[in-house]
Each structure stands twice: as C-alpha cells, then as structure tokens.
A and B are shown apart, each in its own frame.
Chain A
Amino acid sequence: MSMTQTQRLNQVVKTVPAWPIYIVGILPGAWLFYQAVSNNLGADPLKALEHQLGEWALQLLIATLLITPLRDLFKINLIKYRRAIGLLAFFYALGHLLTYLWLDQQWWWAAIWKDITKRPYIIIGMVSFLAMVPLAITSNNRSIRKLGPITWRKLHQLTYIVVPLAALHFVLLKKTWQLEPILYLCVGLLLVGYRFWRKRSV
C-alpha cells in the first residue's frame, strides 16, 4: 500500500467509531444460534454451534494480535478497535464454553469435572478461557486508570498465553493432526514471537 493510501485509511479510521463493532460482531453469533435452534445446521447442530463459536473466538483473538504488527510494519493504525475485538473474542469464547456446559454436557457436573481435571485439551481450553477473564474485566478506561498503564499492559500480555493455548486446544481435540488447527497455532505463535523479537530489537 502506498503512503497516501495508508494515510487515507488512517483518516477513515479516525471517523469510524468502535462501538458498531460490538453490534456487527455479535450478529453472526446470534444468527448461528438461531440457525441451530431452527435445526438448519445439519445433523449435529450442537457440534456445529460449539465448534463455530470456538473458531470465531480464536479468529478474533488472533485479530487482536495483528493490530500491533499492522501498525509497526504497515503504519496502519487500528488500535482504537482492539478493545472491541478483544471483548468480542471473550464473548464468543464464553458462548463456546456455555454451549459445552449447557447443550453438550447438559450440566452433568460429574462428567464436566472429569473433563476439566483429566483431559488435556479441555484443561488447556479452560486455562485459556480463565486467563481471558481478567482481561475482559479490565478492558475499560477506568481499569487502565486504576491499574496504571504499565501494570495494565503487563496484565494484558496474558494474551500471549491465551492465543497459543486456545489454538493448542483446537489442535488437540481432533482425532488426527489436521492442517487447519495447526495453521492457527503457527500464526498464533508467530504473532506472539513477533512481540519478543520486537522487544529485543528495540
């Protein structure tokens, strides 16, 4: 992209607020749930819903990690949208977890407890989700002020753990090694690795 196009894009970003992202972002999830309820997602609507919510959460998480390299390497500044994208990722992860607890395991706590304590891919998924909770809670200006920007930034570096774990959770749930989840893991690791490389080279 030429410099003028980048500048033009950054100008547009200045005029487009972040709040519509929440509305537009939640629509696919709501639509998918409606489709699942109306039995339009094939023979196994539960798995279709569960997997799609999880995959969207992972894609949104990766999108949050793309903001910084886009700014560094291409001078495209989308930072004002990062909070909305991150919170959407959390909502989709929450939807994914609730689908598992409610529709998949049907609040059958004995089985859920066994899953959470015994099965590596579930444990990894849960850890990834739990690490997102403080990030979601502190994704507001008041928390930045209260924690101070340095502590806040440190806390939000948890994302560097959340994303690879979420991708690993996806890799491990498949019966065989499959390309798609492995690609997510590679992209996630690459984006986290970029942070460390950048820190060292500054």
Chain B
Amino acid sequence: AKSLDAVKSDYTVDTEITPRDAATTYNNFYEFGTGKGDPLANAHTLTTDPWSVEIGGMVNNAGTYGLDDILKDVTLEERIYRFRCVEAWSMVVPWIGFSLSELLKKADPQSGAKYVAFETLYRPEEMPGQNNSRFPYPYVEGLRLDEAMNPLAMIATGMYGEELPNQNGAPLRLVVPWKYGFKSIKSIVKITLTDEQPPTTWNLIADNEYGFYSNVNPEVDHPRWSQASERPIGGGLFAKRIPTLMFNGYADEVASLYSGMDLRTNF
C-alpha cells in the first residue's frame, strides 16, 4: 500500500503493537466472506478510487464529499489504539486519520441532531459476501452525537504508516476504540445526522447479543462467552490472556458520556 505521512499524536498505549501481518490478515469484514482470512483473499476486487461520502440528514452543509475534499482540511495523525473485538480477541493498531468531529463540523450538524448513522458501500459485484441474503446489507452503524464528537472517535484512512488495505476498510472507516470492533464500520459511503437512534446491523441480527452501545465492558458478558478477558492476536499459540479493561482502557475519556446509565441494560 502507498505510504502515508502523519504526525505523531499523544494517543498511545504501553503494550506492544500487533504485528502488521496479523492486523491485515485476520479480519471480520463479512462483505468479503465470514472466515477471518476471506477479506484478505477477496477484498482486492474492491474499487476505492473514486470514492465519496454522502453526508446528509440534519446538517447545514449536506452534500457528497469526495475523498480528497474530506482530506484537504484535516491533518492526518497517527494514533495507537487498543482494538477489542466482541469475539474476545484484541489488537493494538497504529491507525492514521483524524477526529470524526472534524468531518462532522464541516457538515455542520443542526441543533436537533442527536445521532449519527453510518453506512458501508453496497456493491455486491465487488463484495461477494453481500450476495448472502441472510445478512441485511448494506452494513449500518451508529453513534450518539456526543459519542461521535468525542475526540477519540476517529476516521481512519491508514494504518502502519500506509493507506488502509481494502480488507481493513479502505479508503476510510470509523475507529471507536472504547467500543467493540464491529462498531468501527468500514468503507463508509454515507453519514446521516438524525434525531432518532439509527438501526445497527448486528443489533438487527441478534438484539439479545449486540446492543446499540456495545461499549467494551468486562462485567457484562456476551450471552455465549465471557468478556472479562481477551486473547491478544499476533502473539502465537501460547499468548497469555489479558484482562479486558472497562471502556477498553478509555474510561477517563468516555465514562462521563454514560453517567447515570445502566450499562447492563444499555449494553
């Protein structure tokens, strides 16, 4: 992939970065198949240029923004984030991108907007998994507006010093490090500001297992497995399990967003 210039940021963690090989070969991107290796094998068919994002709904600057248009006003920075999958494995990834809030400010949300809805590209001829009718494509995700405006929430266009590989959600994706990985929607083509909580794909599939918030929480188990610990990917067969941190270690930055909420019911 093409290398990307980015300034270092203060966002970093004290654990080892996951090898690039692991982060780019072990992916959940069902649009290219349900196996972990399927996205690498199949995502090369995805056309990422030209690319544009349609931003609409309750915004003053609705419109279709080309990728260059989005990137010309932002400074790309490298942020090393913990990444925790709902399947209880984790990585540490050096993303390259910018705060989602910068893009939202450009669109200028109206005062009544409360939520942000995201949508992945729907192009079955390039995304063979989308022919699977048991899955409600296109993939959709959402955040509350205050979550989306939190500086941690980022739009990534690269990782490991290079542009995003297709299997990791090229050319631009969301990264919300305090939530389970499936919230970090890939290959975004549409962003809509609304005053109602938007539907989200995994919640549509199994609402007893995947809630709207899906904050990383070691105390609230998935119905089929514990979320108290996680297996770091890339450390080989004997890698030690590590305890999962509340909000994936970002409690200082985001816990206040949920004050007064019962995180067991709002899982």
Contacts and interface: CB of A to CB of B under 8 A. Distances in A.
Interface of A: 36-37, 39, 42-47, 49, 103-106, 108, 111, 114-115, 119-121, 172-173, 175-178
Contact of A37 (B23, B34, B224, B237): B237
Contacts of B206: 175
B65 interface: no
A178 B34 contact: yes
B236 A42 contact: no
Interface in B1-51: 21-23, 25-26, 34, 36-37
Contacts of A49: 237
B229 A108 contact: yes
B233 interface: yes
A46 B224 contact: no
11 contacts: A42-B25, A42-B36, A43-B23, A43-B234, A44-B89, A45-B237, A46-B231, A47-B36, A105-B241, A108-B241, A114-B226
A120 B224 CA distance: 7
A104 B241 CA distance: 8
Contacts of B26: 42-44
Nearest to A105: B241
Contacts of A114: 221, 226
B71 interface: no
Interface of B: 21-23, 25-26, 34, 36-37, 87, 89, 134-135, 205-206, 221, 223-226, 228-229, 231, 233-234, 236-241
Looking at B22, B221, B228, B236, the one whose CB has the most chain A CB atoms below 10 A away is B236
A103 B239 CA distance: 8
Contacts of A46: 231, 237, 239
Contact of B237 (A103, A111, A120): A103
A176 B34 contact: yes
Contact of A176 (B22, B36, B205): B205
A119 B88 CA distance: 15
Looking at B233, B237, B241, the one whose CB has the most chain A CB atoms below 10 A away is B237
A39 B237 CA distance: 7
Nearest to A120: B224
Contacts of A115: 225-226
Contacts of A42: 25-26, 36-37
B86 to A, nearest CB: 9
